[in-house]
Structure formats: structure tokens, C-alpha cells
Amino acid sequence: MSDCIFCKIIAGELPSKKVYEDEQIVAFHDIQPASPIHVLIIPKKHIASLADAGEEDWNMIGQIQRAAAQIARELEVEESGYRVITNIGANAGQIVHHLHYHLMAGARLSPLGVHN
């Protein structure tokens, strides 16, 4: 997608600080981190959200979880703990409409919950 910031990062049109890349997935540091360590893990294929994933995408989506575990090991946060989360839709806080997972670590994270 020509206006998707993540597609531009994948295409090399925008810079990123990559921490992982394979044939289907790329991961890089978030430019506006919400925690001391905040990595975005995204498929190279443009998929707007989990709600838009096709049957052919589910193996790759599973590989994102494997990549998250590998990244956590490499960033040495596996023992202290980390969070992997995706937001789907406006009420969940999805801003960029390209499926992405947040790997957050480096400090005690607050519990998830509903904000009024």
C-alpha cells in the first residue's frame, strides 16, 4: 500500500532500526516507545489487521510469535518478562492499519484494562 508507513519501511523508503528480519517478517524499534524496549513486529505482506487475515496468513502469523520469543532472547528480556500485544480496530487503539505486534519490556508494565 503506497500510503502505509510500515510498507514504506519494508520497501526501504523510510529508515528503521531493525532487530529481526526473515522472508516474511521484519521487526524494528518503535520511534515513539511506550516502554524502555518497544519493538514492532510486522508481516512484510500488507494485512490491515487480524480481522483481515486470510487462511493462507495464519502460519506466518504464528511465526510472528516465534520471532517475538527470539527477539526477547536477543534483547535479554526473556527472564525479566515482556509483553506481546496487537491492537485491532479503533477501540483497541490501532492507529496504523498494517498488522503489527508490540513487544514491550525493560520495566514493570502496567496491567491491561479499560480506560474511561
- Is residue 39 left, alpha or beta, with left meaning phi > 0 and alpha meaning psi from -120 to 50? beta
Alpha-carbon distance of 27 to 69, in angstroms, equals 12
Report the CATH number that the domain containing residue 72 is assigned in CATH. Answer: 3.30.428.10
Per-residue model confidence as pLDDT tens digits over 83-109: 999 999 988 889 999 999 999 999 988
Range of the domain at 31: 5-105
Return the active site residues: 100
**Residue 115 within a domain:** no
**Residue 42 within a domain:** yes
**Residue 116 within a domain:** no
**Residue 37 within a domain:** yes
Alpha-carbon distance of 97 to 10, in angstroms, equals 14
Tens digit of each residue's pLDDT, the chain (116 residues)? 679 999 999 999 999 999 999 999 999 999 999 999 999 999 999 999 999 999 999 999 999 999 999 999 999 999 999 999 999 998 888 999 999 999 999 998 888 755 54
Q: What is the pTM of this model?
A: 0.92
**Residue 34 within a domain:** yes
Instruction: Name the domain count of the chain.
Output: 1
**Residue 114 within a domain:** no
**Residue 52 within a domain:** yes
